[in-house]
Amino acid sequence: MEQLLVGRTALVTGSGQGIGLAIAQALASAGARIAVHGPVAGEAANDAIRLIRDSGAGDVRFFAADMRDPSAIDRMIDEVTGWHPIDVLVNNAGIQHTVSLAEATRQIWDDVIAINLSGAFHTMRKVLPGMAERGYGRVINIASVHGLVASIHKAPYVAAKFGLVGMSRVAALEYASSGTRKSGGVTVNCICPGFIETPLIEPQIETRAAQIGGDRSAAIADLLGEKQPSLRMAMPEDVGSLVLWLTHPAAHNVTGAAIPMDGGWTSQ
């Protein structure tokens, strides 16, 4: 894709590794400045910055914030906007605990809701008004197939992701008329991945492997066969490519969508 984001700034939460890093690299390839965020620090943070810069970023800086802390999020947004106004916001930071409803602790609930849902609320409420004033903005929330359908042992995660999809639709409606086709408009969308090849699903693979005799490859096949008809996982880079497309001016009328990337999971 052409250098459509030259002069624009993107904040990607949870972008020090995994899906977030792949998204940051995709946006960098279009020339965007990238505000990197994540729990990584030290050499790991430096490695992420180097990879993003090598992907073509106009500039790269690292910003820290505990996504469970609204005040820390406010400070981070103020710091990023003090550097450059945010044109693209990708709420990717997330955690998951696979646990039954009865066994889920109060702390698990609070952490999952705070990071996966409330964190996105706090970034969006700070960033969207400025996007509207400038006539261009993209908010892309990385939800999940579990923002569209439920699975057992994921009550806090499913609640957070369903909430994220709903909140995104409200924001899309509130900002739908901002900007013009020429300026690009302001859109708010969710991407809803199924199984993506990242460390986040490793606990599920380990649990399934233990159930079927310890064979990891067989566990992955069994896991996919149960849910994802394509029988293949997507890669973080696939999510990055879709995020990048949503930033294009041609996507000005794509808003309020929850786009599955799930190999047919939610079509069943």
Catalytic residues: 157
> 91, 103 in Cβ contact below 8 A?
no
Please give the helix or strand (H or E) that residue 245 lies within, else none.
helix 236-246
Selection from 5, 175, 182 nearest residue 84 by Cα:
5
DSSP secondary structure letter of residue 185: E
Q: How many Å from the N-terminal Cα to the C-terminal Cα in the chain?
A: 33
Contacts of the segment 154-160: beta carbons below 8 A, 24+ positions apart: 154/96, 154/98, 155/101, 155/104, 156/97, 156/104, 156/108, 156/109, 156/112, 156/113, 157/96, 157/97, 157/112, 157/116, 159/112, 159/113, 159/117, 160/112, 160/113, 160/116, 160/117
Instruction: Give the separation between CA 53 and CA 210, rounded to whole angstroms.
Output: 41
Selection from 173, 180, 99 nearest residue 139 by Cα:
173
Instruction: Give the separation between CA 158 and CA 147, rounded to whole angstroms.
Output: 6
Selection from 21, 35, 47 nearest residue 239 by Cα:
21
Selection from 40, 52, 33 nearest residue 16 by Cα:
40
